Amino acid sequence: MTPAILPGQPQLAYRDDELFLEGVRLADLARSHGTPLYVYSKGAMLAALAAYQRGFQGRKALICYAMKANSSLAVLQVFAQAGCGFDIVSGGELLRVIAAGGDCAKVIFSGVGKTRAEMRQALEAGIACFNVESEAELEVLNDVALSMGQRAQVSIRVNPNVDPQTHPYISTGLKGSKFGVAHERVLQTYRRAAALPGLRVVGIDCHIGSQITQELPYLDAVDRMLDLVQDIEAAGIALQHIDFGGGLGIDYNADTPPAADTLWTHLLARLDARGFGDRQFMVEPGRSLVGNAGVCLTEVLYLKPGEEKNFCIIDAAMNDLPRPAMYQAYHAIIPLSSNAPAPVASWDVVGPVCESGDWIGHDRELAVQAGDLLAVLSAGAYCMSMASNYNTRGRAAEVLVHEDRSSLVRARETAQTCFAGEILPAS
Ligand SMILES: *Cc1c(COP(=O)(O)O)cnc(C)c1O
């Protein structure tokens, strides 16, 4: 049974009953590298990026990949070589940008809890901008910059408070969110920033949520942002750039988010209409650049049919694929070989971890038997980057494919690496 449509993954297709990502047969990778195994398509990442680039054609725009979605060095290298900047949320992520050959001058630093040490590190590296999330953070950043004889370039992350009733997917741009500066405090925060000698105000930013599949919240956010820009500039504080954050959704399960180029064509029309079309723009896409570029390959260990439920126990688990346990998220699961002899049945696909929350998919129609290989789809974003060593399971290996070539880009962790930093006290 060949699924008619593979959600949003144009580089993934069955050829003669075997699943390929670009020109690489996935079963070959599973056999040579073992499972669970993450496989990413460079072509799919570049195609996702190209949609943003088309949307911003002829504009001044910097695409900063929100690397928390997938911070593997090989993935970062793909985006660095394509000219992207990076949106980071820790000093560790900055070190990854440098290790992958990224340009620190195109790095913006988001997050509500930057430490002094991270600020110092980012100033030394010469990043483009700190996206400051509170008044308290402004004071600390000013202090750190002055102590280094520098001026930190700042943007204030504002909370546009887009109406939650009509846009239920939005979770970070609401009143009551820990993120950003409340709409009504934005002007006074900018005044304070402009008065601090260790800071240079360069922009404004927002990020209204994730897995957004409608255009309307973005249009609302654009309008709210431009209202603020007008107020701030009327107060004599010039803004060089406007950063609209990330959040564009992907197709996990018949989701229909707008394409990035369509979305941005529409948003830029609104920006043009309001006279802001020639500004320097930034965006911080994460999921939409990598989510549907990756799959997680796994082997069926055991079938455990039961009276109420049939369980299909696989060798990938919540430590590898945390999104179902964390968000009750859906990932499509399909066989690597589409001409399986087993009868189709309904299975709960679960991992070996000792938690009832360790499930990958509920009630999936699959023709499976022990030893079969499966692919968990849409696994390029917020999977490996959130993976853990729970149950002393080493994290999976990763492979990058392009056309008919494949490269191992992360070695599988061993149990020893899981406890390498642990110390037995002298008794
Ligand atoms: C997580 C995050 C992003 C990326 O969000 P996606 O939904 O993956 O596009 C962008 N900006 C900020 C500040 C974030 O925290």
Residue type, 171: S
**Residue that finishes a domain, picked among 260, 285, 310:** 285
Instruction: Determine the average pLDDT of the residues in 384-406.
Output: 97
- Residue of 64, 129, 206, 354 with catalytic role: 354
Specify the pTM: 0.96
* pLDDT band at residue 6 under the 50/70/90 scheme: low
Do 140 and 270 share a domain, yes or no? yes
Which residue range(s) make up the domain with 276?
A: 110-285
pLDDT of residue 95: 98
pLDDT of residue 179: 83
Residues 6+ apart with CB under 8 A from 30: 37, 297, 299, 336, 373
Q: Which of 66, 71, 73, 77 is nearest to 107 (CA)?
A: 66
Q: Domain of 384: which CATH number?
A: 2.40.37.10
> Is residue 213 situated within a structural domain?
yes
Residue 169 has pLDDT above 90, yes or no: no
Residue 45 has pLDDT above 60, yes or no: yes
Q: Which of 303, 348, 292, 296 is nearest to 322 (CA)?
A: 296
Do 151 and 240 share a domain, yes or no? yes
Q: Domain of 272: which CATH number?
A: 3.20.20.10
pLDDT of residue 166: 45
Do 123 and 228 share a domain, yes or no? yes
Residue with tokens 């006290």: 425
> How many domains are there within the chain?
2
Report how far ligand 1's centroid is from the alpha carbon of 84 (Å).
15
Residue with tokens 């692919």: 375
354 is catalytic: yes
Do 142 and 162 share a domain, yes or no? yes
> Is residue 235 situated within a structural domain?
yes
- Residue environment code for 80-95, b if the CB has 16+ CB neighbours within 10 A, otherwise e: beeebbbbbbbbebbe
Instruction: Determine the average pLDDT of the residues in 267-274.
Output: 98
Q: What whole-number distance in Å separates Cα of residue 114 and Cα of residue 134?
A: 11
Question: Pairing between strand 107-109 and 85-88?
Answer: parallel
Report how far ligand 1's centroid is from the alpha carbon of 209 (Å).
7
Report how far ligand 1's centroid is from the alpha carbon of 380 (Å).
14
Instruction: Determine the average pLDDT of the residues in 6-28.
Output: 90
pLDDT of residue 257: 95
Nearest ligand 1 atom to alpha carbon 247: 7
Q: What whole-number distance in Å separates Cα of residue 126 and Cα of residue 108?
A: 10
**Residue that finishes a domain, picked among 285, 307, 333:** 285
Where is 333: in which H helix or E strand? strand 333-335
Q: What whole-number distance in Å separates Cα of residue 106 and Cα of residue 119?
A: 16
**pLDDT tens per residue, range 85-108:** 999 999 999 999 999 999 999 999
Q: Which residues line the pocket of ligand 1, CB cutoff 6 A?
A: 66, 68-69, 87, 110, 207, 210, 245-248, 284-288
> Is residue 356 situated within a structural domain?
yes
Nearest ligand 1 atom to alpha carbon 291: 8
Do 280 and 308 share a domain, yes or no? no
Q: What whole-number distance in Å separates Cα of residue 61 and Cα of residue 66?
A: 15
> Are 338 and 357 spatial neighbours (Cβ–Cβ below 8 Å)?
no
pLDDT of residue 180: 87
Nearest ligand 1 atom to alpha carbon 246: 9
Report how far ligand 1's centroid is from the alpha carbon of 364 (Å).
30
Do 145 and 270 share a domain, yes or no? yes
Report how far ligand 1's centroid is from the alpha carbon of 240 (Å).
21
Do 310 and 374 share a domain, yes or no? yes
> Is residue 104 situated within a structural domain?
no
**Residue that finishes a domain, picked among 243, 266, 285:** 285
**pLDDT tens per residue, range 97-152:** 999 999 999 999 999 999 999 999 999 999 999 999 999 999 999 999 999 999 99
> What dihedral angle (degrees, nearest 10) is formed by the CA atoms of 62, 63, 65, 66?
80
**pLDDT tens per residue, range 288-343:** 999 999 999 999 999 999 999 999 999 999 999 999 999 899 999 999 999 878 89
Nearest ligand 1 atom to alpha carbon 381: 8
> Is residue 373 situated within a structural domain?
yes
Mean pLDDT rounded to a whole number for the chain: 94
> Is residue 52 situated within a structural domain?
no
| Top mutation candidate among 107, 132, 205, 207 for ligand 1, by most atoms within 8 Å of CB | 207
Do 202 and 314 share a domain, yes or no? no
Phi-psi region of 302 (alpha: psi -120 to 50; beta: other; left: phi over 0): beta
Give the residue with greater pLDDT, 141 vs 171: 141
Q: What backbone torsions phi and psi does residue 265 show, to the nearest 5 degrees?
A: -60, -45
Do 207 and 327 share a domain, yes or no? no
Do 271 and 296 share a domain, yes or no? no
> Are 245 and 208 spatial neighbours (Cβ–Cβ below 8 Å)?
yes
End-to-end CA distance of the chain: 60
Do 144 and 251 share a domain, yes or no? yes
**DSSP letter for each residue of 291-319:** GGGEEEEEEEEEEE--SS--EEEES--TT
pLDDT of residue 172: 67
> Is residue 217 situated within a structural domain?
yes
> Is residue 73 situated within a structural domain?
no
**pLDDT tens per residue, range 224-252:** 999 999 999 999 999 999 999 999 999 99
Do 235 and 348 share a domain, yes or no? no
pLDDT of residue 8: 67
